[in-house]
Structure 1
């Protein structure tokens, strides 16, 4: 299993590959502090694995990885503490750009690759001395390989990961076919920093600050479920033994909503009329609010923490980086109203929050290892912005390796593409031809292992799915009839 290093030449980089230290982006400071306070804990090591089926052109892949690293400054960044605070600086790309490990002689190469990935993600990156990312190709068998991409969360958020994988696929397809790739759309990090500085001086910043101040100052609901700042006042989760439980490693369970099951749920949440923009996200968040209402004994003031891209400009939308934010959505669950009414209310709150999503210091910090006051509010991370089904002539399937600590129970949502032609005719009959390809959703329930045993997580998953089926089956009924 000796790794094979890349024979590719050093990737092209800008003349700015070594520059003076810069300030961290606003989204990076919290991650820096969290890692600094828990230097031995792998809080922010992230990974994704693409299973590639087909005849893989390994030289084309080497060239694609090298080109992508040359284009993406955030993946060539080191971080240092200085007398003036943390700073980041650009360095040359990591070498080798791609490591190849042959597991074809193993009895179960997939299991060996998975174990290696998990062990790698359990090791903390030294941000001052080590590269913040790595690419490794595991050869699993004839026309079957796994491309593993590891990165520290300080350099990429979930949307940034998607942009990087999409660009890798574009570059690989070009090199595999012998074409020159199109120019990359990513901009230098200094451009993003200038955009951020301009925002902080803009009227929009003041407007966003006023909105979130009003949200925090909203009165507690009549049932007394909120604290002095309204619902969602931070509270320490309690472990099974009755003691306060800090954030802990996750125990996970997954479920898949098939295209048909998802379509039925979306129809129930829409009610009359066409679906508005963001309807899918509003439906999932509303369903989580119903589940929280049921779980917490009818507490009508519900908070759902929503990670967002915090990207508005074309440059931000085109550039892999760490820009994400987390927004606390304060929702009012009326047990006498229908699920469709809650979805409409949630949609309004989501649209309002997204208009002010760039403002920082509005969301709770629940991912640190110390004894923080972590709120019981669930986080719903909807990462359905794209699904990579092809990689040049190879078929591709994607597996995320989310890590880090969890305060209570989080829900990660990914788009799940069906196998080729699987259920396509049935779905087109329901929606009509010419629509987007059918897809389902993969729901990953991640629970704080200090609070929840695996059986507890399975029970919460089962109840969540029961509620989905209930509101989808009789959307006209008041929510109280489903609980």
Structure 2
């Protein structure tokens, strides 16, 4: 009875949670489904009050107290009445590198497999790096939190902690119950809006293109994390913001457009589909409910080399606005509608996620900096762009499937992308096809180094090489064609005899001998004989039209034509012939 009373309610899973459940059940055992951040606090923290803030926020947010149970009719989730978890406080201030020590612990924790039935699905820890320097580690399984919820929860913890340090009440929680998300989802899926959204997406992808990838191979996800980070300078970001202001677009739209243009330039695919993560929370009250709701919508763009970045930015703006209007229709449902689930097919494998600055966190008067640690394993490539509003530019993370990419490959793509974005910032009216994606070193590598085939070759000829092989091993097999096998000695002797005949017909240097024979041993003998005579070789395909063959013979004026009785009657009359 006590076990039953521990839980306030038993609820079904949302569509987003169901998708995450099956993704883990059927994914690689090494795949990571955790979202994790390290929030660096620039000031002293009271560990006791901080734990109190975590516990109060945890009691306010149903989703962090969720447990999953398997029943005969499917998976259900329960919300515990209590918060049965611990929050480690770890002092790393005496370590040679406190930050590295803290991050080592964090990475070990977030990469540890999580059982959906036993958890823990939500974990926090506080690290002391110095008397005035702390790190808050915040990790949750994606089935209970999305990125939007992470920010919502972090802001509430900061509010509660600040109130506690000031000796005042943190105020009533504005979080909505988890059941509200499920009620809204049920209402949406039975509404006319659901039907309109479905119709919109089916119309968009009635003639869907194949998903593209920057990877040169296709393999299953092996799990794990492969992340490569680069930064876009503050000067370039300022130029992009000016472009945004002039074009009436937002910075995220410009970043999406510039990244899409780079992907087009690298792949050459003009019907480009990329994934765009969305909150899927169109209603204001849903934006106060912690939980897993996030969706991904396909963004389809028509690309061409002569379009300018300005026109692409406008097109991206229109298409993003349209996609946002229909963001609640789940990608899993669209894949099912398009019969992609049975073959594990996708509309996109590359995702662009713009994380705008909304983490203005303050803990008892002390500012904080948020560092993303993990967004989970990816099937292919996810490009995350973080704008923290600190005037230090943008952080760009490439989170990739380690089975498809290497760190060096990601770094090269990032360097080209940054150059590409900077070129757009300097002149957004320039055609995207005119922007060079290679630097001087890469261009030299492609045009010079990879084409450097110079090597020492002894002065010799093909006939000399054949005769040298005859002297070494004349009995070795030189040619096999159907039932015919010739040794080097026999091949050379037959070619010598034919070469003498050709020379008698006038063959020699600066002369041409035409050859019209099927693929056979005689063809190889004829080629070698022509080389021995010193003449050039004119191939004639007997299946060519007669007028074309006549033109070739009249234009080349060979000293003779080597052919066979069976083919000779199909060739036009022209000059001397030598029938084999």
TM-score, L = length of structure 1: 0.83
**Residues 35 and 41, structure 1, Cα contact 8 Å, conserved in 2:** no
2-side partners of 1:288 and 1:295: how far apart? 11
**Residues 162 and 362, structure 2, Cα contact 8 Å, conserved in 1:** no
The aligned residue for residue 284 of structure 1 is 255
Task: Give 1:331's match in structure 2, choosing from 301, 318, 330.
Answer: 301
Is 1:264 the equivalent of 2:253?
no
The aligned residue for residue 125 of structure 1 is 114
**Residues 30 and 113, structure 2, Cα contact 8 Å, conserved in 1:** yes
**Residues 65 and 97, structure 1, Cα contact 8 Å, conserved in 2:** no
1-side partners of 2:345 and 2:186: how far apart? 31
- Following superposition, the deviation at residue 130 of structure 1 comes to 2.5
1:84-483 → structure 2 map (5 Å cutoff):
84-217=73-206, 229-231=207-209, 233-234=210-211, 244-248=218-222, 249-268=224-243, 271-272=246-247, 275-276=248-249, 279-296=250-267, 298-360=268-330, 361=332, 372-373=344-345, 377-418=349-390, 438=391, 440-483=393-436
1-side partners of 2:334 and 2:382: how far apart? 15
**Residues 305 and 380, structure 1, Cα contact 8 Å, conserved in 2:** yes
Name the SS for the 1:405 alignment partner.
coil
Higher helix share: 2
2-side partners of 1:16 and 1:398: how far apart? 38
1-side partners of 2:68 and 2:42: how far apart? 37
**Residues 52 and 144, structure 1, Cα contact 8 Å, conserved in 2:** yes
2-side partners of 1:60 and 1:213: how far apart? 52
The aligned residue for residue 67 of structure 1 is 56
> CA 1:213–1:239 in structure 2 vs 1: closer, same or farther (change >3 Å)?
closer
1-side partners of 2:135 and 2:431: how far apart? 48
**Residues 358 and 388, structure 2, Cα contact 8 Å, conserved in 1:** no
Indicate the larger mover: 190-199 or 99-108.
99-108
**Residues 55 and 393, structure 1, Cα contact 8 Å, conserved in 2:** no
The aligned residue for residue 540 of structure 2 is none
Greater RCO, 1 or 2 (C-alpha within 8 Å, sep 6+): 1
Unaligned segments of structure 2, at least 5 residues? 337-341, 437-580
- Following superposition, the deviation at residue 238 of structure 1 comes to 8.7
Name the SS for the 1:344 alignment partner.
helix
> CA 1:180–1:384 in structure 2 vs 1: closer, same or farther (change >3 Å)?
same
2-side partners of 1:394 and 1:470: how far apart? 38
- Following superposition, the deviation at residue 441 of structure 1 comes to 2.2
1-side partners of 2:180 and 2:195: how far apart? 22
Number of residue equivalences: 426
- Following superposition, the deviation at residue 481 of structure 1 comes to 1.3
- Following superposition, the deviation at residue 364 of structure 1 comes to 6.4
Q: Could you give the per-residue CA deviations for residues 362-389 of structure 1, whole angstroms, max 9, x where no partner exists?
A: 6669xxxx99446664201112151234
The aligned residue for residue 37 of structure 2 is 48
> CA 1:238–1:477 in structure 2 vs 1: closer, same or farther (change >3 Å)?
closer
- Following superposition, the deviation at residue 109 of structure 1 comes to 2.1
> CA 1:140–1:71 in structure 2 vs 1: closer, same or farther (change >3 Å)?
same
1-side partners of 2:28 and 2:37: how far apart? 23
- Following superposition, the deviation at residue 107 of structure 1 comes to 2.0
- Following superposition, the deviation at residue 406 of structure 1 comes to 2.2
1-side partners of 2:244 and 2:389: how far apart? 22
Unaligned segments of structure 1, at least 5 residues? 1-14, 218-228, 419-437
Q: Could you give the per-residue CA deviations for residues 126-171 of structure 1, whole angstroms, max 9, x where no partner exists?
A: 2222331111111222221111111111000000000000111111
2-side partners of 1:386 and 1:393: how far apart? 18
Q: Which has the larger radius of gyration?
A: 2
